[in-house]
Amino acid sequence: MTTQLFQVDAFAERPFAGNPAAVCILSEGASGASAGWMQRVAAEMNLSETAFVSQRENGFSLRWFTPKAEVALCGHATLATSHILWETGILRPDQVAVYETLSGTLTARSLRRNNDTWIELDFPATPPQATDAPEGLLSALGVNATYVGKSRFDYLVAVDSQDTVRMLTPDFGALLALGVRGVMVTAPATGRFDFVSRFFAPAVGINEDPVTGSAHCTLTPYWAERLGKLSMRAFQASQRGGILEVELIEDRVRIRGRAVTVLRGELLAEDPHKP
């Protein structure tokens, strides 16, 4: 039995932009796949995230792996998975995708807008708490901070301008020593975006993540408070770049983006330890 495998550019309106994620749809017989096998598949795919989805009675089980580790929350791979479930007909466009994950129940729904399809994720907010910068953080980034905070997973560093964010050349070895999943650097934006950011996560094998949905669970409450608005448009200023629409609703963040399938195939290397 083979496993369906897809590669999707998430938070992208065209191929080769946004953040690529692999999506493995586990068949009923493979739904008990071992974590070790999933980790090896993720290392083989060598993308920032590989999602493994299997159908359950009332929705889906969803897990995410970087090439190095399993993570508790991933936005772009959830968006990619949802895109595939609708595109392949596993779900109808009017059906909500319901996932059981390490971060609890997450949902996604498909939105039609001006003859285009967007996906809206409903994720838990992870607001930052102000903190002193740990030793080595700012020197690793080469910046002066206007704010430093820490969320459940990451450090948030705010700087003076979007140009500072775009020109960052971090010391990834020094960031690795901080003992957190990642570091996001952000600044207010001009023009059609409210804020920009970049995200660095060498601790989980990703020096720079192109577009990070889960980071916006922290960025959204931070900027909502400072800008005095609950709905915002964001740009992650990596080399590939990605556009996100975000909205803070009490303790939840709604994240909207688009996705494009760039590869379809079959994974022939099955888990030798599955039940």
pLDDT bucket at 115, cuts 50 / 70 / 90 = confident
Residue 57: predicted pLDDT: 86
| Mean pLDDT (whole number) for 17-36 | 85
User: Whole-number mean pLDDT of the chain?
Assistant: 95
| Mean pLDDT (whole number) for 263-269 | 94
Q: Is 153 helix (H, G, I), strand (E, B) or coil?
A: coil
CATH code of the domain made up of 129-250: 3.10.310.10
> In the annotation, is 49 catalytic?
yes
Q: If you ran DSSP here, which 8-state letter would residue 18 be given?
A: S
- pLDDT of residue 275 exceeding 70, the answer is no
Q: Which of 49, 135, 266, 270 is catalytic?
A: 49
Say if domain 3-120+258-267 classifies as CATH 3.40.47.10: no
Closest CA to 15 of 27, 24, 7: 7
Q: Is 232 helix (H, G, I), strand (E, B) or coil?
A: strand
Q: Rounded to two decimals, what is the model's pTM?
A: 0.94
- pLDDT of residue 2 exceeding 90, the answer is no
Domain extent listing, the chain: 3-120+258-267, 129-250
Domains 3-120+258-267 and 129-250 share a fold: yes
Question: In angstroms, rounded to a whole number, what is the distance separating the alpha carbons of residues 142 and 125?
Answer: 28
Residue 123: predicted pLDDT: 97
